[in-house]
Structure 1
Amino acid sequence: LLEHPQYTLPREFRGWRVPDILLSGHHEQIRKWRRWHRLMRTKERRPDLWQQFQPTPEDLELLQQEEPHYEAEP
């Protein structure tokens, strides 16, 4: 699979913001967010790799969702 989007400081740069979930500290939600983006990037950009990919049951569940949005708790 291709990599998920990568972010660094500052939190906002030229109109691009780091997604709140990545700043939240919720490791499981961050893992799912990253996995969803890896799956979607590969599917969209590398159909040759996608055809060879064997998704896990969790991957299949994630693929049924739109982009995961998680609310960061204070």
Structure 2
Amino acid sequence: MSLFYRNCREVTRLILERENRALSVVERVAVRFHLGICLMCTRFTGQVKLMNRAMAQWKRYAEHDEHDGSGG
């Protein structure tokens, strides 16, 4: 088994973990290698990015409401 081989379960875990910590070089290479061959994990990565953007937008919207005084 290659040092850089990870299955889908391991890769999705790493994709989520990289939101909270920096991945090691080996982990980053393993994720990149896996994403090069796995359409489902590539789609999952896109979904995680979309959710992160949506949450950031929602936070800005909520902060704007608090400062605006409308309080929704």
In the superposition, the TM-score normalised over structure 1's length comes to: 0.30
Which entry has the higher C-alpha Rg, 1 or 2? 2
Q: Which has the higher contact order (CA 8 A, sep 6+)?
A: 1
Higher relative strand content: 1
Higher relative helix content: 2
In the superposition, the TM-score normalised over structure 2's length comes to: 0.31
